[in-house]
A and B are shown apart, each in its own frame.
Chain A
Amino acid sequence: MGTDPTPTGLTRPTRAPGGIGVSTLRPDGTLKVTGEFAYSSDMWHEDMLWGQILRSPVAHAEIVSLDVSEALALPGVHAVLTYDDLPTAVRHYGLEIQDTPVLAHGRVRHHGEPVAAVAADHPETARRAAAKIKVEYRELPVVTDEDSATAPGAPVLHPDRADHHSHRVPHPNIVHRQPIVRGDADAAARRADAVVRGEYVFGMQDQAFLGPESGLAVPAEDGGVDLYIATQWLHNDRAQIAPVLGLPEDKVRMTLAGVGGAFGGREDLSMQIHACLLALRTGRPVKIVYNRFESFFGHVHRHPAKLHYEHGATRDGKLTHVRCRIVLDGGAYASSSPAVVGNASSLSVGPYVVDHVDIEALALYTNNPPCGAMRGFGAVQACFAYEAQMDKLAAELGLDPVEFRRLNAMEQGSRLPTGQIVDAPAPVAELLRRVKARPMPPERQWETTEGADIRQLPGGLSNTTHGEDVVRGVGYAVGIKNVGFSEGFDDYSTAKVRLESAGGEAVAVVHTAMAEVGQGGVTVHAQIARTELGVDQVTIHPADTQVGSAGSTSASRQTYMTGGAVRNACALVRERALELGRRRFGSHHPAWATAELRLEDGHVVTEAGEVLASLADVLDDEVIEEEREWRHRPTRSLDPRTGQGDGHLQYSFAAHRAVVEVDTGLGLVKVVELACAQDVGKALNPLSVIGQIQGGTVQGLGIAVMEEIVVDPVTAKVRNPSFTDYLIPTILDTPSLPVDMLELPDANAPYGLRGVGEAPTLSATPAVLAAIRAATGLELNRTPVRPEHLTGTG
């Protein structure tokens, strides 16, 4: 390494290659296509044992007796743990309310609740041992909906929590409730020329990520444990795990193993504590991998909901008022139900201006499977209902549904029902205009010169139709989703950035605890570092708990928050590098004394683009490292009675146009095209952004026409915990997905970006429903739509 500065006077391009705004490829892409990327279920350790969970076969019961002796006696079994084996007094966990037992104690509250954990030397031995555990259940009556949960004499699911939120809930089987009252809905309703009411039912959706819950816990010599795990938030997992193990947090070291999708389903703990307990008990590494059947019991689902809406408008198409009541089924444990209620209520009227609202959202405790986070988080259910209402009201007024929406569309400066002002671009009308202006896909696209290509018909390869009963419909929808954690949550992220010279070149290392779940955060972090530090080589350090919290990979927040933290840490590193340069080379050139120096293409350059030195020369053998926390601007809680308050940080808007073909004879739907327009603020990586929008769109398509966890209304048991019976869209069910990206910067956000991942999941569902209604003339107030709803036989 010489210390001579690079010759000055050269000009260089001002855009970092591989920096932000460019569709750089994923750093983990090659590993993922060769099969070498290590997912949580791929972990392996010498001497490892296999863990297996025994789950309750009934939804609500008292555990009369529990006998593990036969299971323990089975050769190859190393441990069987029940509630009584838990090492400390902390025996519950939870994201917001610690009401979830690590292992059931005296009572089970939902089908599939963990009762015991086994470790054995072969997964089949572990399964057989679990089956040998003798549990005697005395079944209790189940509560499954609002009526049964709040009826006089209904069993209280969490008597010890009956006082929780008691000031805001009318019954102990209600987890959380949020009213929002603004203006005078009664007076406004009297001014309405048209009023429409509807009751809507939203089914239970599952995240159905492909990588099942799995991980490896390795006991450590210091009495602690190392956990390799797929999760959305390492530090929050650790905060819930350590107290149960009786360990200080620094003895629970967590490393993110490869994550096979998340979508909200990895926010709650699954097998983390069980694996650690078994590892510490046996002194051996323990691997747990759920199979798909168990995965359906191993994570929370999207809340099913019943939504009652009343919308009114004047003859000229202006909304007068909205009244609504949203009842979310939270299932047996709280999970993130309170926050979901906050979202559902605050976003319940959608991206429209409504001065007079009377809103109530609540989440129940029932004996159904626990529900919590899933992409769209409370806003999805509301969007399904308010968009159906907007179509209904437009029809009542004789207005075009898109025109009616544009008449009432929110803009920058508009207020939410909470009174919060939307202080960034809100191009709702423009997004609708764009999806509407797209050319239509050709009619009867299945007709070829050789006859019908049945693969393109509803029902496709089953050869059930040649198009005789097929009708087409078009539908539109638009939605609003908040970005980031709301209601006063201390939402922050941390990044550590190192800059050093290696092989004559400046290189950067970015270290965060961000959970890469497939969204492409690792790609974006490298892009940010290249842009901010002007380097080409950026290494992404594996995510672990050796660095501060990055918060959750959820709420469309991670590029905003951890991207912001990386940018912030890079800025500090850059300042230190320039300071170093001034010390080393300041005497070589007067420009070193100016404030406006940049790092570009491995060099320090002036504002005019004149090169002062190579960054490698500036660094020489010095290593610059900065770790910093970064917070977004504060939000506030919502008033418990009026719901007023600046609860949200940022909003994300997407609109869809769905074109569907329905076989009215068979009750089958084929979505022909699902076009999306979304404002992303700034696309840091356009290819990744479009991938997110398309993926979110198809999850919205799924809940429209096929996805539902079916819970028996009498027994509260899950009927379809498999990919055989819980259907997610295949490539045959999926249409062309054109995406139109707007980039209107949000001045408050890093690079002007907006969270992207969730908004498309909101509007896709109601757009498909609207198109099916347009095709069939049916009312269709529940989702998913099933064949019997379309043929009038169900």
Chain B
Amino acid sequence: MRVTFTVNGRTRTADDVWEGESLLHVLRERLGLPGSKNACEQGECGSCTVRLDDVPVCSCLVAAGQAEGRDVVTVEGLAEHARHRAAERGRERDVPDTDRPEPATGGPRTAGADTLAPVQRAFVDAGAVQCGFCTPGLLVAADDLLARCPDPSDADIREALSGNLCRCTGYEKIMDAVRLAAARQEGS
């Protein structure tokens, strides 16, 4: 079947989609957006979290056909989404460019990110990224939390991120990152 929907502000179409494919599979394998991750494909780990019509969902549990005509934001579009949201709130500000040299990563793609969402920057700065496989899903969830709740308590953060598994960090640096992003948001 053919599926057409908006991804990160652009209309995208995927052809020859088998009816049983998940939104996650279409994003990763047909639209060249592998940022949403495939850690469990059973709705337990949150690594595939995307925004679907502005609601964070596990894209592994969304049938591709369900996305027809709808609006999807993935981690690849998170910085733009955050900027857009900030602009809507009338307080757009410059997000500093990344100033670190990036190595090649052994894969077919190379670095191209010139700006980051505040929550992405905070994850890098706080050391919340180790293997990084859980990071995209956590970022979508954390960004959503901070949009809804600019000054979250620790219990709020833990509750909001309880659907996202991480195996590397022990979560403490992830807590630090969300606190940092909230504080910077407050101070801006």
Query: Footprint of B on A, CB under 8 Å?
Result: 23, 25-39, 41-44, 122-124, 207-212, 228, 255-263, 289, 291-293, 453, 455-456, 461, 517-520, 522, 537-544, 687-688, 690-691, 694-699, 722-724, 728-732, 734, 736-737
Name the one of B20, B102, B125, B159 contacting A455, with C-beta atoms under 8 angstroms. B159
A28 touches B170 (CB 8 A): no
Tell me the complex Cα distance, A124–B74, Å: 24
Contact A36 B44 (CB under 8 A): no
The answer to whether the Cβ of B169 comes within 8 Å of any Cβ in the partner chain is yes
Inter-chain CA distance A25–B128, complex, in Å, is 10
What residues of B have a CB within 8 angstroms of the CB of A122 in the complex?
18
The answer on a CB contact under 8 Å between A41 and B35 is no
A256 to B103, CA, bound (A): 14
* Residue from A41, A263, A737 within 8 A of B167 (CB atoms): A263
Question: Could you give 21 example pairs across A and B, Cβ below 8 Å?
Answer: A25-B100, A29-B123, A32-B135, A34-B75, A36-B113, A41-B34, A41-B37, A42-B28, A122-B18, A228-B107, A262-B131, A291-B41, A453-B155, A461-B159, A517-B131, A518-B168, A540-B103, A542-B104, A694-B170, A723-B40, A732-B159
Q: Are A694 and B111 neighbours in the complex by a CB distance under 8 Å?
A: no
**Please, what's the 1-or-0 string for B12-41, where 1 marks a CB less than 8 Å from any CB in chain A?**
000000101100010011001111111111
Query: CB distance A723 to B167 under 8 Å?
Result: no
* Nearest 8 Cβ contacts at the A-B interface: A35-B35, A38-B107, A518-B131, A260-B133, A32-B132, A694-B170, A723-B44, A542-B106
Question: Which of B32, B111, B175 has the most C-beta atoms of chain A within 10 angstroms of its own C-beta?
Answer: B111
Point out the residue from A43, A292, A517, A737 that lies within 8 Å of B107, measured CB to CB.
A43
Give chain B's interface residues, CB within 8 Å of chain A.
18, 20-21, 25, 28-29, 32-42, 44-45, 47, 74-76, 78-79, 98, 100-109, 111-113, 116, 120-121, 123-125, 127, 129-136, 139, 155, 157-159, 161-175
The residues of B that contact A36 with a CB separation of less than 8 Å are 35, 76, 109, 111-113
Q: Indicate which residue in A27, A691, A723 contacts B102 across the interface (CB closer than 8 Å).
A: A27
A38-B76 Cα distance, complex, nearest whole Å = 13
Task: Check A537 against B101 for contact (C-beta < 8 Å).
Answer: yes
Smallest beta-carbon distance A520→chain B, Å: 7
Q: In whole angstroms, how far apart are the Cα atoms of A26 and B125 in the complex?
A: 9
Chain A CB within 10 A, most for which of B28, B38, B98, B101? B38
Contact assessment for A26 and B45 in the assembled complex, using a CB-CB cutoff below 8 Å: no
- Tell me which of B29, B33, B42 contacts A722 (CB under 8 A): B42
Q: In the complex, what's the smallest C-beta–C-beta distance from B121 to chain A, in angstroms?
A: 8
- The answer to whether A33 and B173 have CB atoms under 8 Å apart is no
**Docked CA distance A257–B41 (Å):** 21
| Cβ–Cβ < 8 Å partners of B136 in chain A | 33, 35
Query: Within the assembled complex, what's the spacing in Å between the Cα atoms of A364 and B78?
Result: 50
Are B39 and A258 interface neighbours, CB within 8 A?
no
Report yes or no: B162 in contact with A732, Cβ–Cβ below 8 A. Answer: yes
Contact B165 A35 (CB under 8 A): no
B75 to A35, Cβ gap below 8 A? Answer: yes
Are B155's CB and A32's CB within 8 A?
no
CB-based contact B131/A292 at 8 Å = no
11 further A-B contacts with Cβ under 8 Å, apart from A43-B108, A208-B167, are A28-B105, A35-B34, A35-B74, A36-B111, A37-B105, A256-B106, A291-B38, A292-B42, A691-B170, A695-B170, A731-B161
B114 nearest CB across to chain A (Å): 10
Choose one: B40, B113, B129, B171; the contact of A734 (CB below 8 Å).
B171
Contact A732 B167 (CB under 8 A): no
- Chain A residues contacting B106 (CB-CB under 8 Å) are 38, 228, 255-258, 542-544
Instruction: Decide: B124 and A731 in contact? CB cutoff 8 A.
Output: no
Q: Which of A41, A210, A519 has the most CB of B within 10 A?
A: A210
Closest Cβ of chain A: how far from B3's Cβ, in Å? 16
Separation of A518 and B34 alpha carbons in the complex (Å): 18
B167 touches A210 (CB 8 A): yes
Q: Is the CB of B170 within 8 A of A212?
A: no
Q: When the two chains form their complex, are residues A698 and B42 in contact, meaning their CB atoms are under 8 A apart?
A: no
A737/B105 in contact, CB under 8 A: no
In the complex with contacts A27-B100, A34-B79, A38-B109, A730-B165 CB distance below 8 A: yes
Most buried by A among B74, B104, B161: B104
> Given A691-B127, A732-B159, do A289 and B38 touch, yes or no (CB 8 Å)?
yes
CA A29 to CA B111, docked complex, whole Å: 11
Q: Which one of A33, A261, A696 contacts B116 once the chains associate, using CB atoms below 8 Å?
A: A33
State the Cβ distance, A540 to closest chain B Cβ, in Å.
4
When chains A and B are docked, how far (Å) is the Cα of A730 from the Cα of B21?
28
Contact between B133 and A211, CB atoms less than 8 A apart:
yes
Residues B105 and A258 in contact, CB atoms below 8 Å apart: yes
Of A263, A292, A539, A696, the residue contacting B41 (CB under 8 A) is A292
Across the interface, name the chain B residue whose C-beta is closest to A510. Answer: B103
- B28: chain A residues at CB < 8 Å are 42
Do the beta carbons of B168 and A691 come within 8 Å of each other?
A: yes
